[in-house]
Amino acid sequence: MKPFEYVAARDSQHAVALLAEYGSGAKVLAGGTDLLADLKAAQHSPRVMVDISQAADLKGISLTDDGLRLGALVTHTEIMRSSVIRDYCPALIEAAHTIGAVQTRNLGTIGGNLVTCVPSMDSGPTLLALDAQITVVDPGGQRRMPLSALFVGPRKTSLADGQLLVDIVIPKASVGKPAAFLKFGLRKGQALALVNAAASLWVDGERTTFVAPRIALGAVAPTVIRAPKAEAFLAGLTISPEAMDKAGRIAASEAKPISDFRASADYRRDLIAVLVKRALATAYERSTAQKEHVQ
C-alpha cells in the first residue's frame, strides 16, 4: 500500500467539499472493510483518503415523515440490534446476519455495502424489494433517487466524482411491508452468495391475493436486480404454493447467472426458483402473523 494523505470530514457537507477539492484523487473511507483490502492489492493508491466515519448526519436509524431512514454509516451490527428494524423490517436483519464475520459487521456500513456494488451483496435485495430510495449529495445540493438507479455494473455505481451517499430510505408505503431474505452459499458463514433473494408483498383484506409483490435477486446478474415479470405474474393472483412456485421459475428465467468455479449457471437458476418460492412463502406467513396480531 502506497502512502496517501488523510483528512477527516466533520459532516457530509465537509466531505463533499473535500471531494470537490481533491477530485478523482480522493477515496471515501467509511468502515473500510472492503476499501482497505482493495488498497493492499491496488497498483494505484488514492492521493487522499477522506474519512467520513465521524460524520453524525450520516448515522442513525429512525422513522421519519418519508419512511424508515438508515444513515449511510449505519453498521450491519446496528441493523441487527435495532428495535425499529426488528419491528418494521426484520428481513434487513436477516440479511445483515449473513454479512461476513462479527468484525466485518461491527465496522462495515450499509452505505459501503451498496456503493461497493458487488453483484452478490447481501443488503441490496431486501432494500430493492422494499422500493428503497437513496439520498445523494454533491456541491449542488441533495437529490433523492431509487436505489436501483445506483447500480450500473460490477463494482460500478452511478455516483460521479464528488458525490456522496447520505442515507437510504424505505418509503412510508413500504414500512412494515412483510418481506423475507434468503441466501445460499457454499458454507453457512462468511461466504459469498451463490444466490440471494428477497421478496415483499401485501395481501388483500381477505388474505387471498397478492398485492404489490416485489422480488429481488443477487449474485445472478451484473448487479442486484428485480424480477419484474415474476412480480407482474403474481400481482392480483390468488395466493397459493403453486403461484409462488411458478413465480420462482419465472424469476429464474429473468436472471443472467454465470458459471464459475463455485456453481454452474443452471444450478444457480434452480436455486433462484427455490429461494424465491421460499421467500414469498415466508413473507406471506409474516403478513398473516401481522393480521392476527392486529385482530
Q: Which one-letter amino acid corresponds to residue 66?
A: D
57-174 with 179-289: one CATH topology?
no
What would the pLDDT profile of 158-213 be if each residue is shown by its tens digit? Answer: 999 899 999 999 999 999 999 999 999 877 666 789 999 999 999 998 779 999 99
Per CATH, the number for 57-174 is 3.30.465.10
How many CB atoms are located within 10 Å of the residue 191 CB?
A: 15
Contact 61, 80 (CB under 8 A): no
> What integer is the mean pLDDT of 221-227?
97
CA distance 199 to 268: 17
> pTM value?
0.93
**Domain boundary assignment for the chain:** 5-51, 57-174, 179-289
Mean pLDDT taken over the chain: 92
Looking at this protein, which amino acid is placed at residue 175? Answer: V
Query: What totals of helices (H) and strands (E) does the chain contain, helices first?
Result: 11, 14
Judged by DSSP in three states, 20 sits in helix
Q: How confident is the model at residue 245 (pLDDT cuts 50, 70, 90)?
A: very high
Contact present, 113 and 121 (Cβ < 8 Å)? yes
User: 232: number of CA atoms within 13 Å, CB side?
Assistant: 5
Tens of pLDDT, residue by residue over 164-173, are 999 999 999 9
Give the C-alpha distances (Å, rounded to integers) separating 190 from 64, 96, 101, 197, 287. Answer: 33, 12, 6, 17, 30
List the CATH code of the domain at 179-289. 3.30.390.50
Which among 71, 67, 75, 76 is positioned nearest to 59, based on CA atoms? 71
Alpha carbons 271 and 255: distance in angstroms, whole number: 11
Percent of the chain with pLDDT over 70: 96
Overall fold of domain 5-51: 3.30.43
